[in-house]
Homo-oligomer: A and B are copies of this chain.
Amino acid sequence: MRASDEMTIGNLARRTGLAVSAIRYYEEQGLIHPERNSGGQRRFRRSDIRRLSFVKIAQQFGYTLPKIATLMATLPEGRTPTKRDWEKISRSFRRTLDEQIQTLEQMRDNLDGCIGCGCLSLKKCRLYNDQDRAARLGPGPRYMMGDRPGDLD
């Protein structure tokens, strides 16, 4: 066995910090495609370390495994990804990250408005109204937080 290029699952687990069971699960989900030796045991390439590390990072960005799988489909299995490969993906990361940050910042701004008003004057409150707007798609709430047309402020 050319030890330089083949790894057992336990070895890969140690190198990536993942559990053996997680690696098997990732194979099941199509994220990696190890070969088998004559005895039926999985044998991994060194590039699988890279792939699994990529999975971990993408997960930190909030990607689901299916999404990660499609992202990785654009990456080469065997060779080191080129700068161009990586740039495409990292731009996608950057976009979702920016969106996430923007969402949180908007929530923060809304919240700040509410702190100022004590959030007892709810007809104007952004936090509730933003929610309201989303909910209106369904049979959702007409008047949030107990306020009704005639309610006092």
Q: Residues of A with Cβ closer than 8 Å to B?
A: 14-17, 46-47, 49-50, 53-54, 56-57, 60-61, 80-81, 83, 86-87, 90-91, 93-94, 97-98, 100-101, 104-105, 107-108, 111-112, 114-115, 118-120, 127-128, 131, 135, 138-146
Write out the residue numbers on chain B whose beta carbons fall within 8 Å of the beta carbon of A86: 114-115, 118-120
Write out the residue numbers on chain B whose beta carbons fall within 8 Å of the beta carbon of A119: 86, 90
Instruction: Tell me whether A90 and B107 are in contact in the complex, defined as CB-CB below 8 angstroms, given that A53-B144, A56-B131, A146-B49 are known contacts.
Output: no
CB < 8 Å neighbour of A139 from B17, B83, B139: B17
Write out the residue numbers on chain B whose beta carbons fall within 8 Å of the beta carbon of A140: 17
Write out the residue numbers on chain B whose beta carbons fall within 8 Å of the beta carbon of A114: 86, 90
